Amino acid sequence: MTSRELNFEGPSPILYLIATPIGNRSEMTPRALEILKDTDYIAAEDTRNSGQLMAYFGIDKPFISCHEHNEEEAGTRIVTLLQQGKKVCYMSDAGYPCLSDPGQRLVARCLDQGIKVSVTSGPSAAINALTCSGLSSTHFHFEGFLPAKESERIARLNALASNEDTLIFYESPHRIFKTLLSMAATLGDRKAVIARELTKSHEEFIRGTLAELCLLPEESLRGEMVIVIEGASKKKAVLSDTEIALALREEFDWGRTPKEAIKNVSANNGLPKNKVYEVYLENFKRD
Ligand code: SAM
């Protein structure tokens, strides 16, 4: 059944997700602060961490702890409060809730109960890193954290090895080298960028190939990091004989000689000249 209701009109309650800074506190938006000043409760992944952020902005509201391990029970309380007409916001430790952070089960639960959901925009480490990577941003795959167990990490990377989209990973400093080594072994020596300490005073982009990044001094990779990796190189589609013949016909329509046509079709499609010549003989040569 289709459900349709304008987010800021109508009777249903609304859960606000709040995107928070990933380092630089100035990236807390005025809109997020307005909503937080007006809320009754702030549900947070880590109430101590969010308490400090709220204190910085002079916001004093009751907190509800809602993290990966209690999302079920905390969700029940949050849904009840929203149904009673209370205003509730949810924030994770940094960036967007639900992106490699808790919140997704709470969102699904609210939607199931006819509670609307809106999000205030803000920074996300993945998007900040991709934007400055210099790698293609036309299509990208957000992977987030890889499994800690090596065999599972390698299996996941193998599954991504032929993906042509730019790949984005989150990683913690204590696992970065193991992860880079697994990446170089499975994905090959591709271009990659480590985006470190984004939005903070020590923000840094380290660009190279995966093999080069594996040789960085271990102590130089501290803080929070995103790894952005070039997608697999595009494989040229193998043309069928009929497709080669059609490509030759097009060349003849442009007035090319057989020699020129064979040379062009071969070069444009990465095909050996003798293969194109064979198709030419079969389809066009009349003695
Ligand atoms: N929800 C967050 C988001 O929207 O980006 C991500 C949370 S995830 C638990 C934390 C990971 O995000 C870190 O281990 C790191 O890979 C990445 N990250 C967060 N802040 C970062 C920063 N300032 N610079 C680089 N990476 C960061």
The 10s digit of each residue's pLDDT in 145-180 is 999 999 999 999 999 999 999 999 999 999 999 999
Contact (CB, 8 A) for 96 and 16: no
- Structure confidence at residue 236 (pLDDT): 61
pLDDT above 90: residue 25: yes
Is the CB–ligand 1 distance for residue 143 below 6 Å? no
- CA 144 to ligand 1 center in whole angstroms: 9
- Structure confidence at residue 235 (pLDDT): 65
- Structure confidence at residue 2 (pLDDT): 86
Mean pLDDT of the chain, nearest integer: 94
The model's pLDDT over 182-240, given as tens digits with 9 standing for 90+, comes to 999 999 999 999 999 999 999 999 999 999 999 999 888 999 999 999 999 876 667 88
pLDDT (average), residues 20-28:
97
Instruction: Name the fold adopted by 1-123.
Output: Cobalt-precorrin-4 Transmethylase; domain 1 (3.40.1010)
* Backbone phi and psi for residue 281, each to the nearest 5 degrees, phi listed first: -60, -45
Q: Which residue has the higher pLDDT, 55 or 250?
A: 55
Q: Which atom of ligand 1 is nearest to the CA of 171?
A: 16
Domain boundaries of the chain, sorted by first residue: 1-123, 136-234, 241-283
pLDDT band at 23 (very low <50, low <70, confident <90, very high): very high
pLDDT (average), residues 9-21:
95
- Ligand 1 pocket mutation, candidates 226, 227, 228, 229, criterion most atoms within 8 A of CB: 226
- Structure confidence at residue 233 (pLDDT): 87
Please tell me the CATH code under which domain 136-234 is placed: 3.30.950.10
pLDDT (average), residues 38-54:
97
pLDDT band at 122 (very low <50, low <70, confident <90, very high): very high
pLDDT above 90: residue 266: no
pLDDT above 80: residue 20: yes
- CA 23 to ligand 1 center in whole angstroms: 9
Q: Whose CA is nearest to atom 2 of ligand 1?
A: 95
For residue 171, the cross-strand partners are 225
The beta strands (E) that lie in the chain are given as 14-18, 41-44, 63-65, 88-91, 116-120, 140-145, 166-171, 191-196, 204-209, 225-229
Among 49, 242, 226, which Cα is nearest to 146's?
226
pLDDT band at 103 (very low <50, low <70, confident <90, very high): very high
- In Å, how far are 27, 79, 189, 270, 275 from 258, measured between CA atoms? 63, 73, 40, 18, 14
Among 127, 94, 129, which Cα is nearest to 206's?
129
- Structure confidence at residue 29 (pLDDT): 97
- In Å, how far are 148, 160, 171 from 181, measured between CA atoms? 13, 15, 13
- The amino acid that residue 135 corresponds to is L
pLDDT (average), residues 67-76:
92
pLDDT above 80: residue 287: no
- In Å, how far are 45, 56, 218 from 170, measured between CA atoms? 18, 27, 17
DSSP 68: T
Q: How far apart are CA 160 and CA 271, in angstroms?
A: 27
Per-residue b or e along 224-236, where b marks 16 or more CB atoms closer than 10 Å to that residue's CB: bbbbbbbbbeeee
Q: Whose CA is nearest to atom 16 of ligand 1?
A: 170
| Two tokens, residue 36 | 């937080």
Contact (CB, 8 A) for 223 and 198: no
Among 234, 251, 226, which Cα is nearest to 94's?
226
Pairing of the two strands 140-145 and 116-120:
unpaired
Q: Which atom of ligand 1 is nearest to the CA of 97?
A: 1
pTM confidence score: 0.83
